[in-house]
Amino acid sequence: MNFRPLWEYLQQAQALAFYVEAGYLVLASLLGGFIGAQREATNHSAGLRTHVLVCLGACLLTRIHFVNGDPGRIAAQVVTGIGFLGAGVILRRGLSVRGLTTAATVWVVAAVGISCGAGGLYAASATLATALVLFTLTVGRWSENLIHRNERQTTLTITVSRHKGAVSAALTALTEAGATVSAFETEDLPDGRRVLLVTLRMRPDVKEQDVCDELNQALPDATIEWV
């Protein structure tokens, strides 16, 4: 009996399976790269390499457990692990928080990688999801700028006596005056006073005098200076 045709068929089947597996990994790398390139172009902390590695790793782990284990279990573990990675790109300074969008893209890229690893229609869904992510990142920024186009940004310094509740009272007063706090820093002076440096976004209908009136009502001993 000639087993050569059977052996050649098995070799061809193995080669085809390898190409399929490689295709999923390449697809995951490309999709993660597209999203990462957008983050890299806008100078964010997690850029091209991070997104490619996250997407590729999620795809590879899913493919391994898709064949030899429970894919749902590994997907849950990947999502949990990505949560810690995403937290690492979030920066907080005062009340200003940066990196939330980048953390969200890292999380979405992990989902894209898992979808690529699941194969079939899920891989097609990953491609569509990537296009939607890129659309959201580009058009979403333009939409945000359009929404806030009439707002002006300004900074004021509030000097008060150092006592409990001064910071929360200042924030409440600013909010009631219609201003939006975009950044906030504090510094304690040797004479027992505290300086609050606040960056505000203000609509055209919000007047500086209204903000001062609210602050003076909440903090009668405050000294206010617009920068």
19: amino acid identity, one letter: Y
Q: How far is CA 6 from CA 16, 80, 187, in A?
A: 15, 45, 79
Q: Kindly give, in sequence order, each residue whose CB lies less than 8 Å from that of residue 72, ignoring residues fewer than 6 positions away.
A: none
> DSSP class of residue 46?
S
Q: How confident is the model at residue 131 (pLDDT cuts 50, 70, 90)?
A: very high
pLDDT digits (tens, 9 = 90+) for 12-49: 656 677 788 888 999 999 999 999 898 888 777 677 89
Q: How far is CA 219 from CA 16, 170, 177, 187, in A?
A: 74, 7, 14, 17
The confidence score (pLDDT) of residue 86 equals: 64
Q: Quick one: CA dihedral 40, 44, 45, 46, positive or negative?
A: negative
Q: What is the DSSP string of 75-106?
A: HHHHHHHHHHHHHTT-EEETTEEE-HHHHHHH
| Nearest 10 degrees: Cα torsion 159, 165, 171, 176 | -110
pLDDT digits (tens, 9 = 90+) for 184-207: 777 887 877 888 888 887 777 778
Average pLDDT of the residues in 123-147: 85
> DSSP class of residue 192?
S
Using the structure block, give the residue that is written with the tokens 């061809």. Answer: 12
User: Rounded to an integer, what distance in angstroms lies between the CA atom of residue 169 and that of residue 207?
Assistant: 19
CATH of 152-226, one of 3.90.180.10, 3.40.50.2300, 3.30.70.260, 3.30.2450.30: 3.30.70.260
The confidence score (pLDDT) of residue 55 equals: 92
The confidence score (pLDDT) of residue 17 equals: 72
**Which part of the chain has CATH 3.30.70.260?**
152-226
pLDDT digits (tens, 9 = 90+) for 209-224: 878 888 888 878 788 8
pLDDT digits (tens, 9 = 90+) for 137-151: 888 777 766 766 667
**pTM attached to this predicted model:** 0.64
Q: Kindly give, in sequence order, each residue whose CB lies less than 8 Å from that of residue 86, ignoring residues fewer than 6 positions away.
A: 103, 104, 106, 107
User: Rounded to an integer, what distance in angstroms lies between the CA atom of residue 209 and that of residue 215?
Assistant: 10
SS3 227: coil
The confidence score (pLDDT) of residue 30 equals: 94
| Nearest 10 degrees: Cα torsion 115, 54, 87, 153 | -90
